[in-house]
Amino acid sequence: MAKILKTKEICTNIWEFIIEAPLIASKAQAGQFLILRLHERGERIPLTLADWDPEAGTVTLVVQAVGKSTREMVERFGEGDEIRDVVGPLGLPSEIKRYGTVVCVGGGVGIAPIYPIARALKAAGNGVVTIAGARRRDLLFWLDKLDAVSDELIVTTDDGSFGRKGLVTEPLRELLEAGRVDKIWAIGPAVMMKFCSLTASEFDVPIVVSLNPIMIDGTGMCGVCRVEVAGETKFACVDGPEFEGDKVNWDLFLARLAMYRDLEEKALEAYRATTEERL
């Protein structure tokens, strides 16, 4: 059991959860994730660690209410409630060292997991340029936290409602054209990571992405999270979740993400029906 200590909506449909997990907090590193199960009949949800405090024994998760389980989490679980199972930290941590100038790109809810990576890279002595993007202003969050760990923060919105109008790949390309980038991290929607990777490859600059396939056990036994990287099958849970973006088979990855979309929609419809019954 893990008690929820604090929860709040930090922007439209995106929530921050601070939960009590002292063992995870004591071992957590940038780039890792955990898997939780809300209750005995719940599904296992992988969530990247957005922050942690070893002294307080807490970890911070950022949850976008999209599917059945994430909606259930934000709608039915609040402060003082307990989550049935929390397992972590899982996955390989980010390779943090001094590279020179690095760019950290966070798109949408990917802003949350890019934060601890940018913080760690800054602490390692790198110059950090962070690009945060979202479809519109009300989907942006944690800009103050990103600004605190960045030498430069660039914000974009698709509709121009805040910061620069356009996609995150546009300022990324400008930085690459200026020749001031030694390495890139990009976390966000799969399509965003794909095009960040394509942009980086044009300039022969290494890029790291964090893949989010469907997972079950998170320990490499089930094989559900397999991805193709450099022509080889890898398991995101134990070989990742970070991989070299220019070596990911993005077409296959995107196809696998869409495999169970109809079942996900049915699960969400069933959850909404039970919610209406409770009301």
Euclidean distance between CA atoms 89 and 113, whole angstroms? 14
Strands 85-90 and 101-107, sheet pairing: unpaired
Spatial distance between the Cα atoms of 194 and 171, rounded to a whole number of angstroms: 16
pLDDT band at 173 (very low <50, low <70, confident <90, very high): very high
Cα 108–chain centre separation: 9
Query: Is residue 262 in some structural domain?
Result: no
Domain assignment present for residue 229? The answer is yes
1, pLDDT greater than 90: no
Indicate the pairing of strand 183-187 with strand 101-107. Answer: parallel
Same domain for 212 and 115: yes
Q: What is the pLDDT of residues 68-80, one digit of tens each?
A: 899 999 999 999 9
The residue with greater pLDDT, 15 or 266, is: 15
Q: Residue 117 above 70 pLDDT?
A: yes
Q: How far apart are CA 179 and CA 242, in angstroms?
A: 24
Q: What mean pLDDT do residues 197-208 have?
A: 97
Is residue 272 one of the residues assigned to a domain? no
Which CATH number covers residue 55? 2.40.30.10
Residues 40 and 69 both lie in one domain: yes
For residues 118 and 83, state if they share a domain: no
- What is the pLDDT averaged over residues 76-92? 95
| pLDDT given at position 94 | 97
251 lies in the same domain as 114: yes
**pLDDT tens-place string over residues 132-149:** 999 999 999 999 999 999
Question: Which of 14-18, 70-74, 80-84, 194-198 bottoms out in mean pLDDT, i.e. has the lowest?
Answer: 70-74
- Residue 268, in any domain of the structure: no
Give yes or no for residue 277 having a pLDDT over 70. Answer: no
What is the per-residue pLDDT for 171?
A: 97
- Mean pLDDT over 97-110 rounds to 97
Say yes or no to pLDDT of 278 above 70. no
pLDDT of residue 5: 97
The residue among 29, 63, 90 that closes a domain is 90
Q: Is residue 151 part of a domain?
A: yes
Nearest to 3 by CA among 14, 24, 25, 18: 18
With respect to residue 279, please indicate whether it lies within any of the assigned structural domains: no
Secondary element (H or E) of residue 277: helix 261-278
Up-side HSE of residue 119: CA atoms within 13 Å toward CB? 17
Are 6 and 131 within one domain?
Answer: no
Beta bridge partners of 209: 186, 243
Least confident among 17-31, 33-47, 88-102, 261-275: 261-275
Shared-domain flag, residues 82 and 112: no
| Domain finish residue from 66, 90, 114 | 90
> In this structure, are 86 and 106 located in the same domain?
no
pLDDT digits (tens, 9 = 90+) for 149-161: 999 999 999 999 9
Let me know whether 57 and 143 are in one domain: no
Choosing from 37, 69, 90, the residue where a domain stops is 90
Same domain, 126 and 211: yes
Same domain, 130 and 171: yes
| Same domain assignment for residues 42 and 121 | no
Q: What is the maximum alpha-carbon separation in the chain?
A: 58
Any domain includes 125 = yes
Range of the domain at 44: 2-90
Q: How many CA atoms lie within 13 A of 27 on its CB side?
A: 12
- Segment 26-43 mean pLDDT: 94
pLDDT at 265 over 90: no
Query: What CATH number does the domain containing 194 carry?
Result: 3.40.50.80
| 105 plus 74 within the same structural domain | no
> Which amino acid, residue 242?
E
What pLDDT is stored for residue 260 in this prediction? Answer: 82
- What is the pLDDT at residue 93? 97
Say how many domains are in the chain.
2
278 assigned to some structural domain: no
Q: Residue 263 has what pLDDT?
A: 85
Any idea which of 68-82, 106-120, 255-269 has the lowest mean pLDDT?
Answer: 255-269
Q: What are the beta bridge partners of residue 154?
A: 131
- 3-class DSSP state for residue 105? strand
Instruction: Give mean pLDDT, residues 230-252.
Output: 96
Tokens of 264: 């996900």
State the average pLDDT over residues 97-105: 98
**Mean pLDDT score of the chain:** 94
